Chains A and B, each alone.
Chain A
Amino acid sequence: MKSEQPLPQSLPDVVDLLNAIPHGIALLDNQLCIVAMNRILEAMTGFTAAEAVGIYADYILRTSLSSNDLICRQVLAEGGSNSREGNIINRARLRIPVHCTITRIEKDEQPTGVMVVLEDMSVLQAAKQEGLSSEGRAEIIGHSRQMEAIFEMMAVLARTDASVLITGETGTGKDKIAEQLHHSSQRVRRPFIKVNCGALPEALLESELFGHVKGAFTGALRDSAGKFRLADKGTLFLTEIGDLSLPLQVKLLSVLDDREFFPIGSSQKVKVDVRVIAATHRSLRQEVQRGRFREDLYYRLNVLHLHIPPLREREGDVRLLLEHFIRQFSRALGRNIKEISPEALRVLLDYPYPGNVRELRNIVEYGVNLCHGEQIQLDDLPRYMFKPVEPLRQEPGAEGFAQPGSSLRESAPMPPLSAWEEMERSEILNALRRSGGSKKEAARLLGWGRTTLWRKIKKYGLNKT
């Protein structure tokens, strides 16, 4: 039975469009039945669109994400999108690892269904198993001055046992750096446990971190050790620490100070020896100022601080990463791609990469998939790269590191931006204006080194005006 509200007006056109995208995509109506699916998804699942249309999506997609399609229902009810790692079992009885993204479709601000995008991760996982992605520091690629400084700092941090706070924009590789810190430390033979503080509601996260005893709350059918106990003698990596609720921040602070805690519902204290590494894309200092993050916890975590620079500030690294990913995907996908055409390379080098290394990797994967010859051409790059980059919409107060010095924008409204360079130029001018012409102060406001600022001033000809 199909939905009463057809999703798009011209479904065949939409399906044609979906067929051009190199991921499996299904459009579901608001009953979560399939309205359309592209050819890639047909190949992935083994079901044709004609067979699948009208059937409840879970019976066709067979994902491991959650029974009863809780995530789809949640996205449909609350909006936004949700991404998870999981797998599907197709008609050929193959288990395929996938990265699943579920997004709500709206018409006139009313939900009309959801779009499910399934990205086949088997190539990447196989590449990892074959050791194509090399271990250790080599996995974090960068020869820029900024990254060399990070590597030097990492060598020092690995020798200590203090808490580390890693900050940086999304896609800069905070997780990899945390993992590498663990592998280089004395705790390497002990567990490395990662917890995403933003992925779970407060009550669940508390139980996930500190564990519970049987009967502590409805549904607590058995004892749970909690991640702190699982990471005993090892490293606990708390990613998106900026999303941690205030009551949990208090409990975390107490654990960090005393190295002991009470699991939920238990009267017995548990002692642990855990090194905590925390990461966030937010500016914790600003979160502290806004009263959303406890100052004492901030200072407790910020014993050692590592800030990963965004890709656009890492000179020369884009080219290095491009070469690395082309080699990696060519080998993994069985292609013989040797280089990038000069025109495409110019676009790739000029692009600001707001999604950093993750975005660059996806762009290369897209290019390698679409490329027919031995050279990636301009046509093999995603279309969105040719449009001016709009600044990412940020939730109020969730100001991260995306636009250094963006606090300046609050006092000096920016003109409509047409290109990244124009925005960067305006940022520099604003900073210089605020610092009364002092380049040292302007560089500090922008979060750059003085030489970077000087180079950019020269690049935009601001020294002549």
Chain B
Amino acid sequence: MKILVTIRGNFVSPRFDLTGEVMVVSCYNRKLLEEPRSIILSEFSAEQLCDLALKENVGIVVCGGIEEQHYRFLTWKKIKVIDSVIGPYPTVIQLVAEGALQAGTILPGTTSCGITE
């Protein structure tokens, strides 16, 4: 199963449509099969991100705020969307792999912008 997490710095990005970077990782039997791979997007676009999810053949998308139309599009394409997630992305990836992450989860430690200057 492939997982795509929209990120900003160390955290899950606040908005799906304003995401500039994603992490893609494969997992099997509750374990990560590889190091997460980062993809930098050329522009902020929810549509481009949806296309990327389809091209990468991901099974789960984890993001912050997402509009209903994009949520519906992804679920229509049989992609599970876990939205409104707040927290550091490494922990989030681990929780998704373990099947323990739910929409709306707020993890501790989100006290900065996420980008280290």
Residues of A bordering B, CB below 8 Å: 1, 31-33, 46, 51, 54-56, 58-62, 64, 67-69, 88-91, 93-95
Contacts and interface: CB of A to CB of B under 8 A. Distances in A.
Given A62-B15, A90-B65, A93-B68, A68 B115 contact: yes
A54 B111 contact: yes
B29 interface: no
Contact of B86 (A55, A68, A93): A55
Nearest to A45: B65
A59 B67 contact: no
Contacts of A33: 111
Contact of B111 (A31, A46, A68, A94): A31
Given A62-B64, A89-B66, A56 B115 contact: no
A89 B67 contact: yes
Contacts of B20: 67
Nearest to A68: B113
A89 B106 contact: no
A91 B86 contact: no
10 contacts: A31-B111, A56-B111, A56-B112, A60-B86, A62-B64, A68-B8, A68-B113, A91-B65, A93-B66, A94-B68
B16 to A, nearest CB: 8
Nearest to A29: B111
Contacts of A31: 111-112
Nearest to A2: B111
Contacts of B67: 89, 93-95
Contacts of A68: 8, 113, 115
A56 B66 CA distance: 18
A64 B11 contact: no
Nearest to A54: B111
Nearest to B65: A89
Contact of A64 (B18, B71, B83): B18
B86 A58 contact: no
A60 B71 CA distance: 19
Contacts of B68: 93-94
B45 interface: no
Interface of B: 8, 11, 14-18, 20, 64-68, 71, 83-84, 86, 104, 106, 110-115
A59 B11 contact: yes
B106 A55 contact: yes
A155 B35 CA distance: 68
Contacts of A61: 14
Contacts of B110: 55-56, 59
Q: Which of A33, A54, A55, A90 has the most CB of B within 10 A?
A: A55
Contacts of A94: 67-68
Q: Which of A59, A88, A94 has the most CB of B within 10 A?
A: A59
B104 A59 contact: no
A295 B35 CA distance: 64
Given A59-B14, A59-B86, A62-B15, 4 more contacts: A46-B84, A51-B106, A89-B16, A95-B67
Nearest to B70: A93
Contacts of A91: 65, 84, 104
B4 to A, nearest CB: 18
A165 to B, nearest CB: 38
Contact of B65 (A1, A56, A93): A93
A55 B88 CA distance: 12
Contacts of A90: 65
B6 to A, nearest CB: 12
Nearest to B109: A1
A88 B112 CA distance: 19
Contacts of A69: 113
A55 B104 contact: no
Given A51-B106, A91-B84, A94-B68, A64 B15 contact: yes
A89 B15 contact: yes
Contacts of A46: 84
A184 to B, nearest CB: 37
Contact of A93 (B8, B71, B112): B71
B91 to A, nearest CB: 14
Contact of A89 (B11, B17, B111): B17
